[in-house]
Amino acid sequence: MRFWRKLLASIFLGVLAASLLLGLLESGRALAQTPATYTVQPGDTLFVIANRLGVELAELAAANGIADVNVIAVGQVLLIPGAESSLPVIVARPGDSLADLALRLGTTVEQLAALNQMEPAIRLFPGQPVQIPPEAPGDTELRFGAVTNVRLPSQIVQGRTGRLAVQSSRPLSLTATWNGLSLGIQPLSATVASGWEGTLLPTSALLGPGFFPLEIGYAAGNGNILSRTFSVLVSAGPYDSQLIELPDGKGSLLDPEFTQPEIEKLYALWAVNDTPLLWSEPFSRPIGLEYPTTSPYGTRRSYNGGPYSSYHTGQDFGAPATVTVTVPGAGIVALAEALNVRGNAVVIDHGAGVFTGYWHLSKIFVTTGQVVATGDPLGLVGTTGLSTGNHLHWELRIYGVAVEPLQFLEEGVGEWRVEIGD
């Protein structure tokens, strides 16, 4: 009799557990009435999108790593919290919390909580499915042929530059495409046996916030192309807005017919990425510390009352016309001439798709093709071209994308190699 009682009790508990699990699944389906993603349209705000889709503004921002709810971009793809979607799913282990999963995946508790409509402090039951951001690194085994290790940032702040490092078991002709931008792959180690190669991942101050694709590929021995696509989170940057009033006589410099030829000329230079890497240590400051920033990189700009449709692509330092500008790192002068908008200009190719630019100079000391070293004088501060006063505009481009130059005063290739254990 005791045996039959135990058997019946086991069956009852099994049925009850199955019913509870079914109830949890059904309640999850009931919550998932919104689409999986939403693409930002002209005129959209995050508040309007949240109301339209019936989700909380704070949850929508957290799910997409958006720090400033007032800054979204047309075309940005948003993940919708609680939506039934094809997002990757991870299964909780015994004792797991959202904090444990966030640590393993290199994401945040807030993002996981928003994606799954859970409380951040919730305890998970073993086997519980949890939606995670696309290609969250760190918890799944890498299955990518001869590629044995891929290191990429958990997130990049708008305007800053991330780093990709790839290790392979044999020499490969790797390719990388970052959000549609073809990148050059460079060896990161003098030790051939280490097999590490990599590239820089530039982001403009207007990219994102949101997830963006990074595709890595190579041709296998049989000729087939193997590739993997990862998603990298770009989070919002801390940028202000600025209204600029141009003096009389310089307003015509905004005319596209006047500016376009110069832009095309420069982009042709910035498209070159086959120059070997010429610098290793962090850049030096191209102008003395006593000259302050007058307009930082990334500031959204309006000219003469127009729309805020562009951003400041460099770092401005206020200084008199007699101040010398110096080379921040080894390279080759790619351009040294007078331009209509940028005035007397110098562009230096530092290799691996990295260029620095110096605009509005009063004098130029270098010539195109000249090899330069850190600290060499390249010109004097001025106010030539589209400028409202004497200053140095210092710009840093990677594969043509204008990025935060001050980051490279702190980081060089040497730190990159230390990170991968060379």
- CA 159, distance to chain mean position in Å, is 7
Sequence-ordered list of residues with C-beta below 8 angstroms from that of 220, at least 6 positions apart, any chain = 145, 146, 226
**Averaged pLDDT score across all residues of the chain:** 80
Helices (H) and strands (E) in the chain, counts: 7, 27
> What are the structural domains of the chain?
32-131 (3.10.350.10), 147-238 (2.60.40.10), 241-408 (2.70.70.10)
DSSP per residue, 282-316: PPPPSS-TTS-EEE-TT-EEEETT----EE--EEE
pLDDT tens-digit series, residues 119-173: 888 888 877 888 877 654 444 456 788 888 888 887 888 999 999 999 888 889 9
Mean pLDDT of 202-222: 87
Indicate the burial class of 110 (C-beta count within 10 angstroms; 0-12, 13-18, 19 or more). Answer: middle
pLDDT of residue 245: 74
For residue 97, give the DSSP letter: B
Check residue 7 and give its pLDDT: 44
List pLDDT tens digits, range 219-274: 888 888 888 888 788 888 888 887 877 666 655 556 777 788 999 999 999 998 88
| Percent of the chain residues past pLDDT 70, beyond the cut | 80
The answer to whether 206 and 241 are in contact (CB under 8 A) is no
Q: What is the mean pLDDT of residues 75-87?
A: 70
Gap between the Cα atoms of 360 and 177, Å rounded:
34
- The rounded distance, in Å, linking the Cα atoms of 401 and 208 is 14
pLDDT one-digit tens code per residue, 285-318:
999 999 999 989 998 877 777 776 678 899 999 9
Count other C-beta atoms under 10 Å from residue 340's C-beta: 14
The mean-pLDDT minimum among 135-139, 204-208, 380-384 falls in: 135-139
Q: How far apart are CA 226 and CA 235, in angstroms?
A: 29
pTM score: 0.68
Half-sphere exposure of 331 (CA within 13 A, CB side): 26
Task: Quote the CA–CA distance of 342 and 359 in Å, as a whole number.
Answer: 5
Is the pLDDT confidence value at 106 over 70?
Answer: no
pLDDT at 401: 95
Per-residue pLDDT, 408 = 95
Burial state string for 345-369 with b = 16 or more CB within 10 A and e = fewer than 16: bbbbbbbbbbbbbbbbbbbbbbeee
Q: Looking at per-residue confidence, does 398 or 86 come out higher?
A: 398
Q: Of 103-112, 162-171, 175-184, 250-259, which range is least confident?
A: 250-259
Q: How many residues does the chain have?
A: 422
Average confidence (pLDDT) over 339-355: 95
**Range ranked top by mean pLDDT from 12-21, 171-180, 295-304:** 171-180
